[in-house]
Amino acid sequence: MSGQTATALRKRPAAATAAQVLSWGRYPKTAHAYVHKPAWNDQVPEILKTAAIGSLLPHGLGRSYGDSCLNAGRELIDCRRLNRILGFDESSGMVRCEAGVSLSDIIDVFLPKGWFLPVTPGTRFVTIGGAIANDVHGKNHHCAGSFGAHVHQIALYRSNDGLALCNERQNSAMLRATIGGLGLTGVIAWADIQLKRVAGPWINAEIVPFESLESFLDLSRESNDRFEYTVAWVDCFAGKNARGIFFRGNHAAECGKAFQRKHGPELPFALPAWMLNRYAVKAFNTAYYRIHAAKKDPAVVPYDSFFYPLDSVGGWNLLYGKQGFLQYQCVIPETNIEAIEQLLDLIARSGMGSFLGVLKQFGSAPPAGMLSFSRPGITIALDFAMRGERTLKLMQSLDDVVRQSGGALYPAKDSRMSPAMFEASFPRWREFVPYIDPKMSSSFWRRVTESQG
Ligand SMILES: Cc1cc2nc3c(=O)[nH]c(=O)nc-3n(C[C@H](O)[C@H](O)[C@H](O)COP(=O)(O)OP(=O)(O)OC[C@H]3O[C@@H](n4cnc5c(N)ncnc54)[C@H](O)[C@@H]3O)c2cc1C
């Protein structure tokens, strides 16, 4: 398949197993690696000591869409068993946990006590290590910034310095490099995260349909002062008209109903690619718009259906068929908003859009990390089933628009951006290089930097 290269495995290290590891988009496919599975943090130094230069990468729940969590032909440290909650201060809401603890674990333990995540992405199946390494953002970016802004302290295993404590007073530059640092600065052993007080598991939610990008922006500006969470779904077949549904909400006090987490169906296998043709997706988008546009009354909804609608279908990434899919997420400065129209127009004309189009206005918080993606502007995220060269060409044409507008692409969602596009997105990336642990590397990092020196 174009865009992929076969990678030979290096020699197998002791106590690691060879496996084909896929990220959430199931593209690229060729990423075999040797996987270490430490059960205790104190096993990590030995893995670091015996590894060759540039051979390792930590790995969480693999919810990154592309190759930033992959290390083709080399080694991964699977951090999922490093998942202990180490301490909690009931009065301040500060939790200390190992990096393999998932956001889902945090919610299950602390929401019943009245505490919630300060920032959450669109899935709860993300580890604390992954949330820090991509400095993830959520629907409250306009008032809470990104996840990294709520990380008070981390302990970081480095192959050359042992366990380094990083906070505002000690190793503060290393903390800023590790937030959004794509797992390249070392292995996060544990982190102190500030949780936020909430009234309960309910959200007061409102839905507002819109029919142009201007009305999306008006809604967003007006809602950002009154609502903690805002995000929009956009119909990517509507072209420049940018019709969509705006979702906004605040945590609610008790609503009188008993809360029960719903478990939805599980997709058992990859669906045949023809099922996701342009007519089916267009029909889905039209129906989705009409059904939601009709629901205008505010409602009290469970937090999980508000934050994590996709988590209700287990393995939904198999919907896109055996070849997998790519997500395209960029941020465009608000002064160049017409670039969003151009992107939507190109996608509508290509006939390759999908049912997942998300728009969000980021706030003005300064980036928490050196390589953080979130910055002031409008972010748009769209899924595309992988259809070979045709899909990659469409994405290159989107890149041209993003680059000309002064925008940037999100590494957590990427599996194909060029070194030039990375340079345009993160012009100061060379300042991050001195913080990289010499034993760390990733498929993504080699792809976007190796030709650039
Ligand atoms: C349905 C869905 C919705 C999403 N919505 C959003 C969203 O709204 N906003 C957003 O920002 N992102 C979103 N994402 C992306 C996701 O939040 C990020 O890719 C996240 O980093 C995945 O975490 P993970 O635990 O799966 O880690 P992985 O994907 O396995 O790894 C991610 C990075 O973390 C590093 N890492 C993992 N553990 C450690 C450790 N112990 N020490 C150091 N580095 C480590 C890895 O090396 C890698 O660079 C979404 C993903 C999905 C599937």
* Extents of the domains making up the chain: 85-198, 202-417
Kindly report, residue by residue over 364-415, the tens digit of the pLDDT. Answer: 999 999 999 999 999 999 999 999 999 999 999 999 999 999 999 999 999 9
3-state helix, strand, coil in the chain (%, to 5): 30, 25, 45
Q: Does residue 446 register a pLDDT over 50?
A: yes
% pLDDT > 70, the chain: 93
- Over residues 423-437, mean pLDDT: 98
How many helices (H) and strands (E) would you count in the chain? 12, 19
Residue with CA nearest ligand 1 atom 9: 121
- List the residue whose alpha carbon is closest to atom 8 of ligand 1: 121
Q: Are strands 196-197 and 325-332 parallel, antiparallel or unpaired?
A: unpaired
Task: Give residue 273's pLDDT band: very low, low, confident or very high (50, 70, 90).
Answer: low
Max Cα-Cα span within the chain = 61
Q: Ligand 1 mean position to 218 CA, how many Å?
A: 31
| CA 126–ligand 1 middle distance (angstroms) | 6
Is the pLDDT confidence value at 111 over 90? yes
Question: Which protein residue has the closest C-alpha to ligand 1 atom 20?
Answer: 130
Q: Tell me if 85-198 shares its fold with 202-417.
A: no
Structure tokens at 383: 């899924």
Distance from first CA to last CA of the chain, Å, rounded? Answer: 28
Tens of pLDDT, residues 157-204: 999 989 999 999 999 999 999 999 999 999 999 999 999 999 999 999
Confidence tier at 6 by pLDDT (50, 70, 90): very low
CATH topology of domain 202-417: Alpha-Beta Plaits (3.30.70)
Q: Kindly give the distance from the C-alpha atom of residue 214 to the centroid of ligand 1, in angstroms, as a whole number.
A: 32
Residue 31 pLDDT class (50, 70, 90 cuts): low
* Residue 25 Cα to ligand 1 middle (Å): 12
Give the mean pLDDT of 256-276: 66
Of the listed ranges 51-65, 76-90, 113-127, 250-264, the least confidently predicted one is 250-264
Residue 267's pLDDT is what? 62
Atom 51 of ligand 1 has which residue's CA nearest to it? 63
pLDDT in tens, 192-208: 999 999 999 999 999 99
What's the CA angle centered on 97, arms 93 and 102, to 5 degrees? 100
Residue nearest to atom 19 of ligand 1 (CA): 64
pLDDT for the residue 242: 82
Which of the pair, 110 or 279, is modelled with greater confidence? 110
Q: How far is the CA of 223 from the centre of ligand 1 (A)?
A: 28
Nearest CA to ligand 1 atom 33: 130
294-340, pLDDT tens digit by residue? 777 789 999 999 999 999 888 888 888 889 999 999 999 999 999 99
Best-predicted range by mean pLDDT (25-39, 159-173, 254-268, 301-315): 159-173
- Name residues contacting ligand 1 (CB within 6 A): 24, 57-64, 68-69, 79, 99, 121-123, 126-127, 129-131, 133-134, 136-138, 182-183, 187-188, 310, 412
Report the chain's mean pLDDT, rounded to a whole number: 91
> Is the pLDDT confidence value at 453 over 60?
no
Domain 85-198 maps to which CATH number in 3.30.70.330, 1.10.357.10, 3.30.465.10, 3.40.50.150? 3.30.465.10
Q: What is the mean pLDDT of residues 62-89?
A: 97
Is the previous residue joined to 438 through a cis bond, with omega within 30 degrees of 0?
Answer: no
